Amino acid sequence: MFAIGNQKDAMSQMMTNDPRDPNDIRSIGIDLAPWGTYGWALTLHQSMDILDQFFQRGVPVLGGDVIYLIDNDFRYLGDNWTCNPIDGESHEVFVERSINRSRGYIQNYPEPMVGKAYFVIVPDQPPNPHKDWSDWLPTY
């Protein structure tokens, strides 16, 4: 399984009714459903854009996975990162720390010798249960 954490619930809130809508997460990256998993494979550049949007909206990232596209097939090799809140840490500090950890991991990930690396980012749930992801959506 490529995804960890609450990705399915969180990402489903990042969809509009039209996948061609530039505010819909499905308008960027590659939907991994045809490979039997939930999520979107993002390039390094797309990942940085999403992380910038998450930071601006106060969305922490719980981690993510690296997958490789080799011969038109995505393969999971077990590379991933995680970031959990620390007891007593404010939401704002966790957001900054989790985004910085994600940026660092993705930016420093070595280019594979075969295929191309993609990233599957796992955002946390909204901190306010009465809000949904519409206020946190990346816009393109």
Provide the residue ranges of all domains of the chain, joining segments of one domain with +: 7-126
pLDDT (average), residues 5-14:
44
pLDDT in tens, 67-84: 999 998 999 889 999 999
Structural tokens at position 42: 């993002």
What was the pLDDT predicted at 1?
28
Residue 5 neighbours by CB under 8 Å, 6+ apart: 62, 63, 122, 124
pLDDT in tens, 16-37: 445 445 555 566 789 888 888 8
Structural tokens at position 33: 């459903």
Give the chain's radius of gyration (CA, Å). Answer: 14
Fold (CATH) for 7-126: Ribulose 1,5 Bisphosphate Carboxylase/Oxygenase (3.30.190)
The total number of residues shown for the chain amounts to 140
